[in-house]
Amino acid sequence: MSPPLAGLSRHPDFLRLWAAQAVSAVGSRISRTALPVIAIVSLGADASGVAVLSSLSTAPGFVVGLFAGGLVDRSRKRPLLIGADLVRAALILSVPIAAWTGALTLLHLSAVAALVGMATSLFQIADNAYLPALVGQDHLVEANARLEGTDAAAEIAGPGAAGILIQALSAPVTMVVDALSYLGSAALLVRIRAAETPVAPADGAGGAAGGSGAADGGASLLEDLRVGLRHGLGHPVVGATFLAMGAQALLSGGVFSALYMLYLLGHLLLSPATVGLIIGVGGIGALAGSVLAGWLGRRLGAGPAMILSLIVSQAGNALIPLAGQLGRYAVPALVVHQLVGDAFLVAFMIHAVSARQSMLPLRVLGRVDATLHVLTGALLPAGTLAAGWLAGRIGVEATIWAFVIAGFAAPLLLLLRPAVWRLRAV
């Protein structure tokens, strides 16, 4: 299943996977924009209702992570990917059908957001486990960079396309476009010709390089979690990236989920349109990061590239509270933060994912990825709540400064592991 010597540009199965993810990535941004519009315009939802709707689209990652890892490892991945796409298409299509028949409710919309979020989490876990077998370990950084670049491009184009479609067709009709995108993704995945290696119902001896001869457990939830923790956190390199990503979710992702919009709109008094444009620049930064990752890896090695990327990304976060002291230069500072912060964070993620995929046995990747979903899915809302609590006591800007400084714990966790900064290739 590895690609020919010409590389991924002439690997037809990877190109189909890449195209499938590009189509569904744009579609998911369309539904992410359209769902709140439907809730507000068609159902009269207030701020709390929209907040619940938004949280339901991301919270299922924690729940799915608990149960999906073993399923992914004990199953063929491509049928799971196709199934997740078909489920998402059917769920999304139920929204315009209900709207046209007058049966749409906020409960229905919330259920769709939650179930689509669950299907998306399953897709992501299966996809991360499927990619190494499809392209081979020598092409993982290139493959992950292309996929991350496509996701960044979708972040740039998707919300704008959604706005145009909603304006021209209405939000419910726009959801039909999203459903069609998932059907298109499934059709492309069906055309992948490479046969997957059969997976035993329970992991036995053997496995990919790096695995042990001992059995990795059966189908129980606790055993699957144990396997994910042992191979994930127990690995000197992968474990360090897990801890760093957990710290980043708690100390960076959480505070910005809670306070970023509030700080820009309430403290800096920027208009919603300006804030939207600033955030959109992050997609450009992420796209640049997908190119930067390979260059950094070649120049520095994979481990130093991860460490440097996370340090620069975290340092870029300081531009957010600094913007409050920069007067007319506040918006340029925030734009630079989006460009630099997102570029180097994506570069770090590409190398971290590639290291996990290349250094762990293929038979446990699903459970390891699921464990990471559980870890970050728990820490992100914890950081959000902590940031909100602290802001009520010391103020928004002081809280952001506190979390920016504390966030350097993430690259520090990589620096404390010699196996990481000695890593030259994945």
What DSSP state is assigned to residue 217?
A: -
Residues 189 and 296 in one domain: no
274 pLDDT more than 70: yes
Contact 28, 179 (CB under 8 A): no
- Report the distance separating Cα 288 and Cα 339, nearest Å: 8
Q: How many CA atoms lie within 13 A of 312 on its CB side?
A: 21
The residue-averaged pLDDT of 86-104 equals 93
pLDDT computed for residue 270 by the predictor: 85
Of 152, 176, 194, which residue sits at a domain end? 194
152 pLDDT more than 90: no
- Report the distance separating Cα 207 and Cα 384, nearest Å: 39
Whether residue 216 is contained in a domain is answered as: no
371-404 per-position pLDDT tens digit: 888 888 778 778 878 888 898 889 989 999 999 9
pLDDT computed for residue 243 by the predictor: 95
The residue-averaged pLDDT of 60-72 equals 80
93 pLDDT more than 60: yes
pLDDT computed for residue 278 by the predictor: 84
Query: Six-digit token pair at 204?
Result: 């036995």
Confidence label for 43 from pLDDT (cuts 50, 70 and 90)? confident
350-364 per-position pLDDT tens digit: 999 999 999 999 889
Of 149, 178, 194, which residue sits at a domain end? 194
pLDDT computed for residue 213 by the predictor: 39
Residues 167 and 254 in one domain: no
The better pLDDT of the pair 51, 8 is held by 8
pLDDT computed for residue 204 by the predictor: 42
Whether residue 242 is contained in a domain is answered as: yes
Residues 169 and 234 in one domain: no
Contact 68, 370 (CB under 8 A): yes
pLDDT computed for residue 136 by the predictor: 84
**Mean pLDDT lowest among 7-16, 121-130, 213-222:** 213-222
Residues 177 and 277 in one domain: no
pLDDT computed for residue 225 by the predictor: 82
302-341 per-position pLDDT tens digit: 999 999 999 999 999 999 999 999 999 999 999 999 999 9
Residues 73 and 161 in one domain: yes
Mean of the per-residue pLDDT values of the chain: 84
Whether residue 213 is contained in a domain is answered as: no
- Report the distance separating Cα 10 and Cα 50, nearest Å: 44
Whether residue 202 is contained in a domain is answered as: no
Of 144, 177, 194, which residue sits at a domain end? 194
Which structural domain, as residue segments, surrounds residue 28?
Answer: 8-194
Residues 23 and 110 in one domain: yes
Residues 285 and 411 in one domain: yes
- Report the distance separating Cα 286 and Cα 326, nearest Å: 25
Instruction: Give the number of domains in the chain.
Output: 2
The predicted model scores a pTM of 0.76
3 state SS of 170? coil
Query: Six-digit token pair at 352?
Result: 């971290």
- Report the distance separating Cα 245 and Cα 259, nearest Å: 20
pLDDT computed for residue 48 by the predictor: 57
269 pLDDT more than 70: yes
Residues 146 and 266 in one domain: no
Whether residue 63 is contained in a domain is answered as: yes
- Report the distance separating Cα 153 and Cα 274, nearest Å: 20
Residues 282 and 178 in one domain: no
**Mean pLDDT lowest among 17-31, 126-140, 187-201, 412-426:** 187-201
**Over pLDDT 70: what percentage of the chain?**
88
Contact 194, 3 (CB under 8 A): no
Cα torsion through 39, 41, 42, 48, rounded to 10: 30
Query: Six-digit token pair at 66?
Result: 């608990």
pLDDT computed for residue 17 by the predictor: 94
Can you spell out the DSSP letters for 12-33?
HHHHHHHHHHHHHHHHHHHHHH
**Nearest Cα to 192, choosing from 279, 133, 148, 249?**
133
Residues 179 and 253 in one domain: no
Contact 282, 155 (CB under 8 A): yes
Residues 241 and 114 in one domain: no
Query: Six-digit token pair at 149?
Result: 């670049």
277-313 per-position pLDDT tens digit: 787 788 889 889 999 999 999 999 999 999 999 999 9
Whether residue 182 is contained in a domain is answered as: yes
Name the residue type at position 334: L
pLDDT computed for residue 272 by the predictor: 66
CATH number at residue 253: 1.20.1250.20
263 pLDDT more than 50: yes
The residue-averaged pLDDT of 56-63 equals 70
Tell me which residue has tokens 């770090």. Answer: 348
Residues 233 and 373 in one domain: yes
